[in-house]
Structure 1
Amino acid sequence: MDGILSGYGSEEEAIQQTGDVKPTTTIGRTETNQRTAGLGSDPEDEIDDINGDVFGIKESLSNQPKSEPNPSNIIDRQIITTVPHVIPAIDQSSSTSLILRPSDTEMNVNVKYSDMILPKQGPKNPFTSRKLEKMNTLNGHIEEEYINEVDFDRQQRTFHVLKYAKNPSIISSTSENPALNFVGDVHSAFKNEGMLASEMKITKAMQKKVKRKREDKGELGVFDEEEEEEEAGEDGAPRPPTKSREYKGPWAGWQDEHLEPVGPDEEEYEAAKRASTSSSIVKKQATEKGQGKREVAYGEEKSTLHAKSLHDYQGRTYMHVPTDLDVDLLSSEPPSECFLPKRCIHTWMGHTKAVSAIRLFPESGHLLLSASMDSRIKLWDVYHDGKCLRTFMGHSKAVRDVTFSNDGKQFLSAGYDRQIKLWNTETGHCVQAFSNGKIPYCVKLHPDQDKQHIFLAGMSDKKIVQYDMRSGEITQEYDQHLGPVNTITFVDENRRFVTTSDDKTMRAWDFDIPVVIKYIAEPAMHSMPAVSIHPNNKWLAMQSLDNQVLIYSADSFKQNRKKRFAGHTIAGYACEVGFSPDGKFLSSGDGSGSMVFWDWKSCRILKRLKCHDQVIISHSWLPHETSKLVTASWDGLIKLWD
């Protein structure tokens, strides 16, 4: 097999290294050399010979060596190979062959892939798996190595602290070239004798070098300004600056400390000032053009009655609860059993933009109030004709939230025009307007009958403000949140309320006391922009923005880890959560316009109902029906399902 190596080298090396090869092969190679020498020094002949097998690879790779027939002595010999075909280990330092060395950067011979997968030395073990074929790839060489995790962490820490580490390619330290034992800052490695960061001990000299010194505190009662006013020298030249003796006390800086001001330079400041001035001028011009058309001041609100007359033949208005139905709307008991809706039975169309919230008339649910992004609020009939009864126009921008009073005679509306307005449901007049200059995100009247003149509003300035309608002023502020307040929910017989915010926290408060009694914030929590309470008033269902509905206790405010409702995608929308009147089903809209229904006990998804083309932002179950549901979407439609 030494013939393989000789084939990669020159002719002379082949003769020297294969001195002990069988005579048949040697004679053939010698005669070939003689024939080559006899051709003369013609360069064309040399080129023809080079185009042949100049390295003898074809001849040496054959299993049976070829021999030239000798005319004087023709002997046929049969060669029996008892050693497997391997690449033997040779002395790379004494050889000038073309086989790659560890220090070479180029390969002058294209070695066959079959030779690359051969064992380096010794017979092949038939009991081992053929890993060499898998490890040699077209893009490089793969090696399986094991590194102790503790040693790796120690070396990594040493490299980050001392800027050097042991060379992972070398198993043990070599004395021939110590520079190869480390990677990174080799000089620091020699200086520290290759110690790890955990083995280093800080000396006193290093402590003195590391420890910074403070500047002199100065003398009490001395100011540098007095020294600067001293006269100059005799020659008129200013005196050299003397050491400051002004009293600095504990505020003295550190030695060799250079504090540079951070901020825009004079040119950047002037450019920013010009840009802000131009933008303010443009905004002022736009305001002057359209402000009179958009703003609706208090007293300028109006409403439109869409019915023929406000009263019927008996003198009753639409506020009267109908009694000519097969459902008792005056009953205080919910249905004994509810079912999931299947089909759409009515569609209310009237809003030109997305619907942001819908609210049913308290107790009876025979009227429906809807707020829209078109700055209008509409009142709809649910049971008789299903028509629009009245349109309230008093906001200049989109309406964010609406809420009824306990008797339904009045309702509050909150808009992006920073206004909160109190409306009369029957006459359509705006009774009162409230504003503190911030955008109200949610509004909630106090549920107690004797506190119907008080309402809470979650504002964009991270506060919950409490208004008294009788005086029209703010009587209390709750300002512990770190983001805009999204929801307000009363619990514990209306003595407490829970708020959620964009700061991904939930806080519980005692009414009229601006101190948090329960603060819930976990690293895995997301913002919960929609909250609903269970019909039994024991659980709070919160829509989390990580596509799940979480359940919290209404008394202890602890999360019920056994109940988790997932499987829908709200895509960042504040989709409201609802409960069936009997509390057996939990429902929520999703970002694709479908309603998802879960079983309250098992938390399994029971049904998906495609209702709208866009996100279902709000929905409500009719309180006295077994399977009727109202949905509102950003497509501007409101639908009734049964």
Structure 2
Amino acid sequence: MLQLQQYGGDSGEDSDESTNDLSHLKPLETGKNIDVLQKNFSVCAAPDVVPTGPVEPLHFTEVNTKEISRNLKYDELFAPELGPENPFLTQQQRARKNMLSGFVEKAHISDFQFENQRRTFTSYGYAVDPTVDDSSKEHTAVVGATLAAEESSGKTVFESTKKRPLDKRKRKKNDNPEDIEGFLGPWGCYEDEQRVVKPNDQEAEELEEYLAKKQKRGKQMDEKPLEERTVLHIKDPVDYQGRSFLHAPQDVGVNLRSEAPPERCFLPKAQIHVWQGHTKGISAIRWFPGTAHLLLSCSMDYRVKLWEVYGERRCVRTYYGHRQAVRDVCFNNSGKQFLSAAYDRYIKLWDTETGECISRFTSRKIPYCVKFNPDEDKQNLFVAGTSDKKIICWDIRSGEVVQEYDRHLGAVNTITFVDENRRFVTTSDDKSLRVWEWDIPVDMKYIADPSMHSMPAVTLSPNQKWLACQSMDNKIVIFSALNRFKLNRKKTFSGHMVAGYACSLDFSPDMSYIVSGDADGKCYVWDWKTTKLFKKWKAHDNVCIGALWHPHEPSKVVTAGWDGLIKYWD
């Protein structure tokens, strides 16, 4: 009590001596004053509680106040200032904010309704206007495609798909397993379902033409192939005995009918002849089968030419029949017929001697490579690798497709028959190598490795044991052609530049050397056993796309380039 008595005022003001000093009072008055003090300074031990009555209004404080004698509440601390508006505030500073990016009003909408309107806007282009909150109106205001909303009466995705007419479609049923012809099981179609029949050839052509016009393709594919013609460039198509130019000459110093290869091969040293006649780059060259006394070449000038290898080395015949660059050519076993595949999507079968076009084949896709089946009893069949990842087998007699091998993931570049023609190996832009059994459309072997590159040219060795593949990483890689088709990692031939070009390669007849062209127009020769580069020389002014070693000559090589020339080296 004495402490309370000595306690001064309720602020830091200087207390009066008369207030604290009670000595001048009489004893009786002192007791009365102490009673008064007890009543004034009664201690309240009750805790602070939240008032339940009306909340007292905020007490605003003057801006100029230096001291505050009471504890301010949060609302008062952050209450707005009174007085005139600051003229220098930006619109952004003046705006009310309840979050960093602005002011968000409280809204109550269910997740379903929000998602429903969002999907409706995505699907139909309209949704209920979220700013309008008046459900009493009959026509709710919409944003977006108002015309579409009027047509569909403002139906949402949920409402429009509520009634599904297909839910009540009845299926045809026949669960009787004894009825062999009519048994449907769970595969019965709907009663009102119309089965789509595959269009016939005429309808397919009309559809193709319609789609071409619709997609506004630049040049529509010509329906009719180009009319074929041929030109014979030599005066005497037959000799004094009545034999045509297909008959091998005998007085050339080498037995062209021999089955055995030369005992030993040597590196060519000099150019001995140039065949000129193509006006654009050459795509491929092929020896006449067996004798190699003729050379067939196809070019980007849309033509195929046949050349003499011996004698006067003239151009024998030119075959005109394609609208675009010819990609590949292939003789049959006798050499009396050959195939030409071009970018005009046609494969044509020609009579080598007369130049007549016997038949035409097309799958409406670009054929990249074409090969006759080498078996004598299957000379009526040939396979072609196309741009739509398929290998298609045609029958010459009927003109029909008899088999399709459709497993590659990219355009098919090469087809090579191995294992006595029971199998064939294909390479593709999908950087894989696949091995197929003849007439079985599932690959029996698939070789793909992350380190592998596309291999646009493949050649089988003379002993049928190895496949030499021109790889796009400037290497020639070797696979075994028997049984396992395993990559031979010890044999890799490098040093040339072929990336981006399908430069073909060849073995010497005795398997001593490998010869290949390259992108700079050079010709390279490696040793087969040691993989050592023996020789390289400048053969062409542009890409040297093909190199072939003569099968009966020990040191003669023919090369073809994109300069339109075919050169003979010895």
Pick aligned residue for 2:479 from 537, 549, 552: 552
1:500 aligns with 2:417: no
CA 1:478 to 1:247, structure 2 compared with 1: closer, same or farther past 3 Å? same
1:641 aligns with 2:569: yes
1:409 aligns with 2:336: yes
Q: In structure 1, the residue corresponding to 2:554 is in which secondary structure?
A: coil
User: What is the Cα deviation at residue 283 of structure 1?
Assistant: 3.6
User: What is the Cα deviation at residue 544 of structure 1?
Assistant: 0.4
Q: CA–CA distance in 1 between the matches of 2:156 and 2:241?
A: 101
User: What is the Cα deviation at residue 541 of structure 1?
Assistant: 0.5
User: What is the Cα deviation at residue 297 of structure 1?
Assistant: 2.7
Q: Greater helix percent: which structure?
A: 1
1:477 aligns with 2:407: no
1:599 aligns with 2:530: no
Q: Which runs of 5+ in 2 are unaligned?
A: 1-110, 114-133, 142-154, 164-210
Pick aligned residue for 1:344 from 271, 292, 295: 271
- Measured against aligned partners, the alpha-carbon deviations of 1:218-273 in whole angstroms (never above 9, x if no partner) come to xxxxxxxxxxxxxxx9955579999979999xxxxxxxxxxxxxxxxxxxxxxxxx
Pick aligned residue for 1:578 from 506, 509, 512: 506
User: What is the Cα deviation at residue 309 of structure 1?
Assistant: 2.7
Partner of 1:256: none
Partner of 2:545: 617
Q: CA–CA distance in 2 between the matches of 1:607 and 1:405?
A: 33
Q: What is the 5 A alignment of 1:300-339?
A: 300-339=227-266
User: What is the Cα deviation at residue 610 of structure 1?
Assistant: 1.4
Could you tell me whether the CA contact under 8 Å between 1:296 and 1:396 is conserved in 2?
no
TM-score (norm 1): 0.56
1:434 aligns with 2:380: no
CA 1:244 to 1:475, structure 2 compared with 1: closer, same or farther past 3 Å? closer
Q: In structure 1, the residue corresponding to 2:377 is in which secondary structure?
A: helix
The aligned amino acid for 1:428 is G
Pick aligned residue for 1:359 from 249, 268, 286: 286
CA 1:234 to 1:312, structure 2 compared with 1: closer, same or farther past 3 Å? closer
Pick aligned residue for 1:518 from 423, 445, 450: 445
CA 1:239 to 1:347, structure 2 compared with 1: closer, same or farther past 3 Å? closer
Q: In structure 1, the residue corresponding to 2:247 is in which secondary structure?
A: coil
1:396 aligns with 2:323: yes
Could you tell me whether the CA contact under 8 Å between 1:368 and 1:379 is conserved in 2?
yes
Partner of 2:225: 297
CA 1:280 to 1:605, structure 2 compared with 1: closer, same or farther past 3 Å? same
User: What is the Cα deviation at residue 318 of structure 1?
Assistant: 0.4
- Measured against aligned partners, the alpha-carbon deviations of 1:166-203 in whole angstroms (never above 9, x if no partner) come to xxxxxxxxxxxxxxxxxxxxxxxxxxxxxxxxxxxxxx
Pick aligned residue for 1:460 from 377, 387, 394: 387
Partner of 2:494: 566
Could you tell me whether the CA contact under 8 Å between 1:296 and 1:395 is conserved in 2?
no
The aligned amino acid for 1:534 is S
Partner of 1:446: 373
User: What is the Cα deviation at residue 378 of structure 1?
Assistant: 0.5
Partner of 2:64: none
Partner of 2:90: none
Q: What is the 5 A alignment of 1:530-541?
A: 530-541=457-468
Which structure has the larger Rg? Answer: 2
Could you tell me whether the CA contact under 8 Å between 2:515 and 2:548 is conserved in 1?
no
Q: CA–CA distance in 2 between the matches of 1:381 and 1:514?
A: 40
Once superposed, which parts of structure 1, at least 4 consecutive aligned residues long, lie more than 2 Å away?
A: 233-248, 276-284, 295-298
Partner of 1:77: none
Could you tell me whether the CA contact under 8 Å between 1:486 and 1:501 is conserved in 2?
yes
User: What is the Cα deviation at residue 314 of structure 1?
Assistant: 1.8
User: What is the Cα deviation at residue 282 of structure 1?
Assistant: 8.7
TM-score (norm 2): 0.63
Q: CA–CA distance in 2 between the matches of 1:584 and 1:623?
A: 13
User: What is the Cα deviation at residue 524 of structure 1?
Assistant: 1.1
CA 1:485 to 1:235, structure 2 compared with 1: closer, same or farther past 3 Å? closer
Q: Which moved more, 1:311-320 or 1:363-372?
A: 311-320
